[in-house]
Amino acid sequence: MSERVAVRKTYKLFIGGKFPRSESGRSYLVQSSNVSLASRKDARDAVVAARAAVKGWAGATAYNRGQILYRVAEMLEGRREQFVALGVPGDEVDAAIDRWVWYAGWSDKLPQVYGGANPVAGPYFNLSAPEPTGVVAVVAPETPALLGLVSVIAPAIVTGNTVVVAASPAQPLAAVTLAEVLATSDLPGGVVNILTGRLAETVPTLAAHMDVNAIDLTGVTDAELAADLEVKAAQNLKRVLRPAQADHDWTADPGITRMTTLLETKTVWHPKGV
Which residues contact another protein by CB under 8 A? Answer: 113-114, 118-124, 126, 128, 133, 213, 223-224, 226-228, 230-231, 233-237, 239, 242, 255, 257, 260, 264-274
In the complex, what is the shortest distance from the CB of residue 8 to another protein, in angstroms, rounded to a whole number?
42
Give the residue with the Cβ less far from another protein, 6 or 246: 246
Give the residue with the Cβ less far from another protein, 205 or 213: 213
In the complex, what is the shortest distance from the CB of residue 129 to another protein, in angstroms, rounded to a whole number?
9
Contact yes or no for 16/189 (Cβ under 8 A): yes
153: amino acid identity, one letter: I
In the complex, what is the shortest distance from the CB of residue 105 to another protein, in angstroms, rounded to a whole number?
17
Q: What is the DSSP letter of 15?
A: B
Phi, psi (deg, nearest 5) at residue 4: -65, 135
- The Cα-based distances of 241 to 77, 218, 238 in angstroms read 29, 7, 10
- 231 C-beta neighbours (distance < 10 Å), count: 11
Distance CA 166, CA 176 (A): 11
Give the residue with the Cβ less far from another protein, 161 or 213: 213
In sequence order, what are the beta bridge partners of 195?
A: 166
Give the residue with the Cβ less far from another protein, 118 or 184: 118
Give the residue with the Cβ less far from another protein, 164 or 176: 164
22: amino acid identity, one letter: S
Contact yes or no for 194/171 (Cβ under 8 A): no
List the Cα angle 179/184/185 in 5-degree steps: 95
List the Cα angle 206/211/42 in 5-degree steps: 45
In the complex, what is the shortest distance from the CB of residue 150 to another protein, in angstroms, rounded to a whole number?
22
| Percent of residues in the chain assigned helix, strand, coil, to nearest 5 | 40, 20, 40
Give the residue with the Cβ less far from another protein, 31 or 260: 260
Give the residue with the Cβ less far from another protein, 54 or 181: 54
* Strand boundaries in the chain, DSSP class E: 27-30, 33-36, 116-117, 124-132, 135-139, 162-166, 192-195, 214-216, 239-241, 263-271
In the complex, what is the shortest distance from the CB of residue 54 to another protein, in angstroms, rounded to a whole number?
11
In the complex, what is the shortest distance from the CB of residue 158 to another protein, in angstroms, rounded to a whole number?
18
In the complex, what is the shortest distance from the CB of residue 61 to another protein, in angstroms, rounded to a whole number?
12
